[in-house]
Structure 1
Amino acid sequence: MWADPVQEWSGILDRLEANIALAVSGGEPEPWNPPAEAETGPLPEELADRARRILDAQLESMAMLGKVRNDALAHLDALNAVPDSQSSARPLFLDVQG
């Protein structure tokens, strides 16, 4: 039998929230593995709304991080499109003033 399911699950939810905050701030959270139900028991009903809010926050942060990743890839693609000055036989800049 579990000692205190509410306390156990509160700790799990605390870690999930901390990982979301860390990921959004640019950190790298440790991989998360869900606890086995035999270790914690089912999620207590009084924590269901909090768990849903955390799920929503995870989905929002995944979307935001995906956008940041796509923007970074677009910038890298733009940089890669600039010709290397050593591979070009023609000048890259034109002095129009003088």
Structure 2
Amino acid sequence: MTSPVARVTGPAVGWDAAWEAALAALELDVAEVEHALALREIALDPPDPWTPPVGLGPLPMALADRARALLDRQIEVSRRVAEAAALARRHARAAQGMRSAPEASPVYLDTPA
């Protein structure tokens, strides 16, 4: 019978590879959102909700720095998405205000001298 310590500290076959694949998938998702933010092309439809992979076991120590860096990127991207959403709401309110404003005649007319 295997001791509990061996199960926690001894990686199963494919354990590191499964974590590498999970981190790579998350990195691709973050890169996609970073790219969309850079192009100012945020989709109106949210992506499918993320569900964590099952059966990965504890994070291998060799991947801890990579996971921390990914978490930092996710937090930064979340902040930037929230800012972009707030800006989009302000623009939408301003545009709506222009549509509902009564027709007005100009007060000043700029002409070349």
TM-score bracket, normalised by the shorter chain, equals 0.7 to 0.9
Aligned residues: 91
Query: 1:96 deviation in Å?
Result: 5.1
> How do 1:1-98 and structure 2 match up within 5 A?
2-26=12-36, 29-36=47-54, 39-84=55-100, 88=102, 91-94=103-106
- RMSD of the TM alignment (CA)? 2.3
2:85, 2:17 → 1: CA distance? 36
2:57, 2:87 → 1: CA distance? 42
Q: Which one scores higher on RCO, CA 8 angstroms, separation ≥ 6? A: 2
Amino acid at match of 1:17: E
1:71, 1:22 → 2: CA distance? 20
1:31, 1:40 → 2: CA distance? 19
TM-score (norm 1): 0.77
Same amino acid, percent of matched pairs: 30
1:32, 1:55 → 2: CA distance? 15
1:23, 1:29 → 2: CA distance? 10
2:107, 2:58 → 1: CA distance? 72
TM-score (norm 2): 0.68
Runs of 4+ in structure 1 off by over 3 angstroms are 27-30
Contact 1:20 1:58 in 2 (8 A): yes
Contact 1:5 1:41 in 2 (8 A): yes
Amino acid at match of 1:51: A
Gapped runs of 5+ residues in structure 2?
1-10, 37-42
